[in-house]
């Protein structure tokens, strides 16, 4: 259902960039971590964050109104429970996501939404003269925030995916552009005999190896560096493209699918894991994600079932079925024609 807003709520939404930067600066200065460590006075926190004490107090007054902090006597502050999500080590931490959303490059790109609406082109590439993935390759801090954010969302989605479909009949999974391996390890955690190949760029694979070298999956995981625009690993029987195609225009997405077709054995299944946008009302998060694709990625978009069917047909795949999950992400099961 659409969101029904009052006039005041509409004004609050127009001020959304204020709130975004307030939360971002709180995360950037690691204020929650500092208070959690026992430094509760304004003076101590200003010293630890190297900030102006009077300006910091003005920020804290807003954080109190937002419910993240409580102000005690003598300019001391304590955390409310909601602030715990801004701790780096919280099991449901959103710290990296807040950092990614508020970081200058993404904030600047969203500031150029008008450019994307007027031209249909990526505001990010307009601002930085390269695509987002090339940008991340030489901006390690931004790459870290991006991968940690994808790791968080991927963990949530992986549980929804494995709950919605039984993958136990497959022996070798291949996760194409699989990031830090959240989906793959979730799949492997359900049985003891299956194996997995994590396929991604070298800077991603290097970090993924460190995550799992001492884990229960170390003997069942293989790491392969490469690009899905060149070739994919062969010999698997279940291939996964999770939130990959929506980053690319139809020509690039077709190129990825054709490389999948060329690398996959004839008996293998391809599982495309993405939101499916329909012609009616969609969840607000799906439509916002689609707009983000427009801004950040040249030609990126969420696709409808018809758009998926047309794209798959060009790559000689058949869309067998679409399985919904308890999350917005869907499972599109495909076979080679």
Distance CA 221, CA 223 (A): 7
Indicate the pairing of strand 269-274 with strand 221-225: unpaired
Distance CA 30, CA 89 (A): 12
Question: First and final CA of the chain: distance in angstroms?
Answer: 38
Rounded to the nearest 10°, the torsion over CA 258, 263, 267, 268 is -80
Which of these is catalytic: 17, 138, 246, 267? 246
Look up tokens 């001492």; give the residue. Answer: 214
Distance CA 77, CA 71 (A): 5
Considering just the CA atoms, what is the radius of gyration of the chain in Å? 22
Crossing angle between the packed helical segments 95-102 and 16-28, to the nearest 10 degrees = 120
Crossing angle between the packed helical segments 140-164 and 95-102, to the nearest 10 degrees = 120
Nearest Cα to Cα of residue 291 among 69, 110, 131: 110
**Do 204 and 176 meet the contact criterion of CB atoms below 8 Å apart?**
no
Q: Is 76 a catalytic residue?
A: no
**Do 143 and 305 meet the contact criterion of CB atoms below 8 Å apart?**
no
Crossing angle between the packed helical segments 53-66 and 16-28, to the nearest 10 degrees = 120
Region of residue 273 (phi > 0: left; psi between -120 and 50: alpha; otherwise: beta):
beta
Look up tokens 């008008």; give the residue. Answer: 114
Residues with catalytic function: 246
């Amino acid at each position: 259902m659409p969101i029904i807003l009052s006039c005041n709520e509409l004004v609050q939404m127009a001020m959304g960039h204020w709130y975004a930067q307030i939360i971002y600066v709180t995360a950037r200065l690691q204020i929650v971590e500092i208070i959690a460590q026992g430094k509760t006075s304004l003076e101590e926190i200003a010293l630890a964050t190297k900030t102006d004490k009077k300006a910091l107090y003005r920020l804290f007054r807003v954080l109190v109104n937002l419910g993240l902090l409580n102000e005690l006597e003598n300019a001391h502050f304590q955390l409310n429970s909601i602030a715990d999500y801004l701790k780096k080590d919280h099991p449901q931490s959103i710290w990296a996501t807040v950092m990614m959303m508020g970081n200058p490059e993404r904030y600047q790109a969203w500031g150029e939404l008008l450019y994307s609406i007027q031209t249909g082109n990526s505001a990010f590439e307009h601002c930085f003269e390269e695509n987002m993935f090339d940008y991340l390759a030489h901006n390690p801090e931004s790459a870290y925030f991006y991968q940690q954010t994808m790791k968080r969302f991927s963990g949530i989605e992986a549980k929804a995916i494995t709950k919605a479909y039984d993958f136990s009949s497959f022996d070798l999974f291949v996760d194409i552009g699989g990031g830090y391996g959240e989906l793959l390890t979730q799949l492997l955690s359900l049985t003891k005999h299956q194996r997995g190949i994590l396929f991604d760029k070298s800077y991603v694979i290097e970090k993924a190896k460190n995550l799992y070298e001492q884990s229960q999956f170390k003997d069942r995981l293989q790491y392969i560096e490469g690009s899905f625009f060149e070739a994919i690993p062969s010999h698997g029987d279940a291939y996964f493209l999770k939130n990959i195609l929506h980053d690319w225009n139809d020509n690039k997405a077709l190129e990825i699918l054709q490389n999948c077709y060329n690398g996959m054995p004839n008996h293998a299944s391809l599982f495309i894991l993405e939101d499916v946008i329909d012609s009616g009302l969609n969840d607000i998060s799906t439509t916002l994600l689609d707009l983000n694709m427009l801004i950040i990625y040249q030609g990126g978009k969420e696709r409808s079932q018809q758009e998926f069917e047309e794209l798959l047909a060009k790559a000689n795949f058949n869309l067998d079925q679409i399985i919904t999950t308890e999350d917005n992400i869907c499972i599109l099961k495909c076979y080679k024609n």
